[in-house]
Amino acid sequence: MKYRYPVVLTIAGSDSGGGAGIQADLKTFSALGCFGTSAITAITAQNTLGVRGIHSIPADMVRQQIEAVLEDLQPAAIKIGMIHTAELATTIAQALQGYQQIPIILDPVMVATSGARLIEETTVHTLRELLFPLATLITPNLDEAAVLYGQNIPDVAAMQTAALALTHNCNAVLLKGGHLKGEKVFDVLAQKEGSTEVFASPYIESSNVHGTGCTLSAAIAAYMAQGASLHEAIVMGRAFIANAIQYGSDVQTGRGNGPLNH
Ligand code: PLP
């Protein structure tokens, strides 16, 4: 008897430095026992020191990649990452119509740790209008949530208010508070029906955190592909990230912001 691994599709950008984007997603899927497939939205020339160039893939080619995977490999979950242009966001929303049964984890990637913009300003509106409503979960960090919410988010109470407000046009929001430096890291899950939950874990000091956001959303997608509920997938995804930060803190890769190791 043949058996199959759960298939996961990532729709995201390539990081030539191997730390974030498609490369992080595929490594995460493999590490978690899934078969990873990809639709590449952009190619970035980058390393651990920063992003040097961004080349968007033509929208029709992105659509073809998504259709080729959906029609044959039947992914059990989809992760969406870097989308540079509004045209790409529109095309991806169209390509995913009719696949509402597949959980979609959307990481609204905007700015790299190095400060490089990974999204055009006008894309944010299209992302929110066309792709957020298709997502099972969106996973903004504090900076991304502040752009979407339109206000600064200085503490955990404000995170809860902002996350709830953002469920206005999506099913659920995991607002990642890792950039609020303290003894603990707080992430807030808000669901459309009005509930919020705060997850807390010890803050782990490491300079190897490039690609953390990509990896978390990929891990949540992988766990959901294996049948976990959204809540279970978030709990296991956070634990996976904590381990990757903990065990990767002594590794030297490149001369800048080192990648997660998993
Ligand atoms: N490059 C690509 C292609 C990405 O998708 C992302 C992330 O989300 C990044 C870079 C940024 O990664 P980080 O903010 O962890 O440096």
CA angle 149, 153, 157 (to 5 degrees): 110
> What band does 7 get if pLDDT is binned at 50, 70 and 90?
very high
Ligand 1 pocket, residue 113 CB under 6 Å: yes
What pTM was computed for the model? Answer: 0.96
The rounded percent of the chain whose pLDDT value lies above 90 is 83
Distance 82 CA to ligand 1 centre (A): 8
116 near 109, Cβ under 8 Å? no
Pocket mutation for ligand 1, best pick of 84, 113, 118 (most atoms within 8 Å of C-beta): 118
Residue 155 placed within a domain: yes
Residue 262 placed within a domain: no
ipTM of the assembly? 0.90
Q: CATH no. for residue 54?
A: 3.40.1190.20
Pocket mutation for ligand 1, best pick of 49, 107, 109 (most atoms within 8 Å of C-beta): 109
On the question of pLDDT at 15 being above 80, the answer is yes
Tens of pLDDT, residue by residue over 35-75, are: 999 999 999 999 999 999 999 999 999 999 999 999 999 99
Tens of pLDDT, residue by residue over 183-203, are: 899 999 999 999 999 999 999
Task: Please state the domain count of the chain.
Answer: 1
Residue 122 placed within a domain: yes
On the question of pLDDT at 244 being above 80, the answer is yes
Residue 2 placed within a domain: no
On the question of pLDDT at 136 being above 90, the answer is yes
The pLDDT assigned to 208 comes to 85
Helices then strands, each counted (H, E), the chain: 8, 9
Ligand 1 pocket, residue 44 CB under 6 Å: yes
Residue 43 placed within a domain: yes
Residue 255 placed within a domain: no
73 CB contacts (<8 Å, ≥6 apart)?
7, 9, 35, 37
Residue 190 placed within a domain: yes
E-strand stretches of the chain = 7-15, 35-47, 50-56, 77-80, 104-106, 137-138, 172-176, 184-191, 196-202
Half-sphere CA count of 167, side-chain side, radius 13 A? 21
Beta-bridge partner residues of 201: 185
246 near 113, Cβ under 8 Å? no
Q: What are residue 256's phi and psi, to 5 degrees?
A: -115, -130
- Which domain, by its residues, includes 137? 7-248
Ligand 1 pocket, residue 215 CB under 6 Å: no
Residue with tokens 């999506």: 170
Task: For 123-153, give one letter per residue: b (16+ CB within 10 A) or e.
Answer: bbebbbebbbebbbbbbbbbebbbbbbeeeb
Neighbours of 54 (CB within 10 A): 18
Residue 253 placed within a domain: no
Distance 154 CA to ligand 1 centre (A): 23
> What is the rounded distance in angstroms from the CA atom of residue 168 to the CA atom of residue 196?
14
Share the mean pLDDT of the chain.
94
